Structure 1
Amino acid sequence: MAAFEQAIETAIANDEIPGCVLYATNRDGTFTYAKALGISSMKPPTESRSPLSKDAIMWVASCSKLMTAICCMQLVEKNIISLDEPVYTHIPELKPFKILKGFNEDGSPMEEPHQEPITLRRLLTHTSGLSYDVMHPGLMQWLKYHGKDNSKESDLLLRFSSPLVFEPGTSWMYGTGNDYAGLLIERVTKLSLEEYMKKNLWEPLGINDITFFLAQRPDLQERRMAMSTRDPSSPKATHATASDLSSYREIGTLPIRDCLGGQGAFAPASAYIKILHALLVSDTDEKLLQKESVEELFRPQLSEGGKAGLAAMMQIEAAKNAMGGPEEGAEKDHALGGIVIMGDEEGGRRGGTMVWGGLPNLTWFVDRKAGLCGLFATQVIPPGDGKCAELTRAFEKGVYELYEKSGGEVPALGELT
């Protein structure tokens, strides 16, 4: 048993995580790692703790963002939409958004119109000024002043109606850009995001078990891995209650009417790895995107202001863990599809690797230089959980070791061109 598997098994035995599904594969499929470890639920009684399956359905949350970005680039290829034109033609609701500048002494917000346009490029790279209100103290104060709770809204436009937090293009803040990008897809194609993805992303890869509306798929509900939570006072994880989940806007418990391209999908790891692999081989396969589009998807996009905003966020340990877990001090940028690691990491991911995650502690990577992609998937809150991050890093480094031992060509540090 590999050292990382032993570490995961120990964590499972100690009730630190319920279990996880692990996948990794290389370009030509000569190296494939696929395992499900642990149990599907920590809900008592013991009889309910069935073994976790590789096909278990999970809320993949922000792993939805990559799928939305791929679909956007398909439409860019066809000249249906543009990365750099204002999106107001199709989403006029964004044009009146103001920038929150602060608060007056009486608590009233100070706001001013934005001058730089909101574009698709800025939506996908989190440089539009939009933010998830739960992550921004100013927006939380703004909501409190107006007596609003957007998290209870089932309509995308109402749910993400908080003001901008900076002038578009000048900084970086994790936010609702991909959700609006999904709405853009719907408006230009006249299809729901689920319908578009089914036709143009999932079916071409032989996937039939991803959805934005789990309640409409009882066949998938039967396979769902239950959510677990960790009490801050204990290292042990327990079954998550409805109250636990409400704190994290868990999509499966809310009457969401719209497809949320930034956070709404449910999928098994066995399906999601097919999407990662399709990107890995896209320079020759082009099943999803043309080679040039994939290059753009991976290309670092941030201005100096954007890099500073991203670096500030990465100082928060939980945020760093939740966004792919780049090594401390590593230079990072953001591409259209996720965070890009700019330099080689010791014993693992190479410069140019794109990474991202999902709220219940899922993390994926696509390393085109090493020719390897992988996914660590579980259902544990809070996001950015330290134990899950520790196990994810152990898995990733262990997979690189197994790949190299199998004869896979992992370039040595300093030998990349």
Structure 2
Amino acid sequence: MLPYWRLSAYYFFYFGFVGAFSPYFALYLQSISLSAAEIALLMSMMQLMRIVAPYMWSWLAEHFGKRVAILRLSALMSLAGFTGFFMTTEFGGLLAAMALMAFFWSAALPLIEGLTFSHLGAEGHRYGSVRVWGSVSFIVAVLVLGQALDHVAIESVLWVTAAILGGVLLCSFFVPDAASTQAGHVAMNLREVLQRREVRALLGACFLMSAAHGAFYVFYSIYLVGAGYDKALVGWMWTLGVVAEIIVFMLMPRIMRRFGLRSILVFSFACAVLRFVLIGWGAGSLPVLLFAQVLHGVTFGAYHAAAIAVVNRWFTGRLQSRGQALYGSISFGAGGMLGALLSGYTWDAPGPEWTFTFGSVFALLGLAWLVRGWPASAQDEARNP
């Protein structure tokens, strides 16, 4: 029986942390007089640690059969690392605290994704109904905190985020273990999977999609505040994107039954090309920004649900967690780090407009790689029944 609420509760607190941390922590860093390059470097530590650490943690989890134990260790040490932000405002100390937190935090997502698919088994199309609670909590965190920050000190971000990490730790003790699905296919090794052209195309395109989002996750809140919007509206803008994401997650079972996963991914990349151009050059038009945020439902929601479904299908048996970790490391790790660091050095010159335009270029390159490397004739292989 699917432990729906226990898995959903973990996603709820996990993405509640993301909702408090991603939109507002950069504003806290700006408030203590860090430069754009320093902010980008600090925020990119989350991506840097996701390059190597998730694969290491997933290998350990599968080798020793301790996925849940490592999930709990991740939650405990992430909270311990975050406490460092209460102790210093010096860049070196902040960097150390961020590195410690990010190293352990990076273990969590591929493990919980692998566990969720293990519990779902043949019902992988139901992933969106579990994952949607993460999107709900993101909305709660980003809205409540966005409204509050117009009335309370920016340091409140630290206390709220630490409390949510405590919730992640608590929920980790209720997540049940599960045997890996498709265990009959253990004979295939990682090298054989990676030799497939479509696998390399997917991972390369995912790298570029995360790079396209780099400036968005680091500077979007700063961008809106600088354009004259208040923090409450910033919260609503983030919320709009996640509401669109929730709707897409709820519709994904139907969408996946009707369209091949390749087609969903191609459409997602095309929307990303449009989205970041609109954000970069549309700051003066709220309707344009609103439409660009609605596209988040496609550029993250549909894209991520389709990508992890393909990864789960191509990396089977004991490769399941490592496949999810590899996807996370290459995309959110390496790709996200590239996008975040590049945005830190282009933000002041040539400016926000061109920084977001570079995101569109990354998405366009990813689209081209995906289409060229994964022929349309092969898309039925990745279609849900």
TM range (shorter): under 0.3
The structure having more radius of gyration, on CA atoms, is: 1
TM-score with structure 1 length normalisation?
Answer: 0.26
TM-score with structure 2 length normalisation?
Answer: 0.28
Instruction: State the structure with bigger RCO (CA 8 A, min sep 6), 1 or 2.
Output: 2
Q: Which has the higher helix share?
A: 2
